[in-house]
Amino acid sequence: QVQLVESGGGSVQAGGSLRLSCAASGRTFSSYRMGWFRQAPGKERERVASIAWSSGSPSYADSVKGRFTISRDNAKNTVYLQMNSLKPEDTAVYYCAARLLSSPEYDSWGQGTQVTVSS
């Protein structure tokens, strides 16, 4: 069973940076794509970024391109989301998720970590 544990959330002023971590366990993740999602109060969940574990090929939502970077450390089985130039609209609960490359749906989720950006 896949287990995902996020960390690194917190409060920061606009323009600041945070790095989120997602420790993954329970599988060999070479056949997985890992994603970061976020959900703000009253809004739908939004995919922020994703990365293929084996190739490292990233994908980003337009709203974060040029500001956020997703990466993974194979030795540590950890996925990171480096968030720079944060804006108040980035405030949300951020979730790590995983899916098999052959699956269209993310079916493993972490518990989430709060990111709050103040103006």
For residue range 65-99, list pLDDT tens digits in order.
999 999 999 899 999 999 999 999 999 999 999 99
43: pLDDT confidence band, cut at 50, 70 and 90?
Answer: very high
**Residue 12 reports pLDDT greater than 90:** yes
Lowest model confidence (mean pLDDT) among 1-5, 53-57, 62-66, 103-107:
53-57
Confidence label for 113 from pLDDT (cuts 50, 70 and 90): very high
CB pairs under 8 A, 24+ apart, for 56-65? 63/89, 64/90
Please report the pLDDT score of residue 79 as a whole number.
97
Number of other CB atoms surrounding residue 18 within 10 Å: 20
Kindly state the average pLDDT of the residues 19-38: 95
pLDDT at 55: 87
pLDDT value for 56: 87
- CA–chain centroid gap for 76, Å, is 16
Report, as an integer, the average pLDDT of 58-65.
98
**How many beta carbons lie within 10 A of that of residue 34, not counting itself?**
24
DSSP 18-75: EEEEEEEESS-GGGEEEEEEEE-TTS--EEEEEEETTT--EEE-TTTTTTEEEEEETT
HSE value, Cβ hemisphere, 13 Å, CA-based, for 47: 14
Please report, for residues 15, 27, 58, 108, 119, the alpha-carbon distance to residue 1 in angstroms, rounded to integers and kept in the order given.
38, 7, 24, 9, 40
Q: Averaged over 98-105, what is the pLDDT?
A: 94
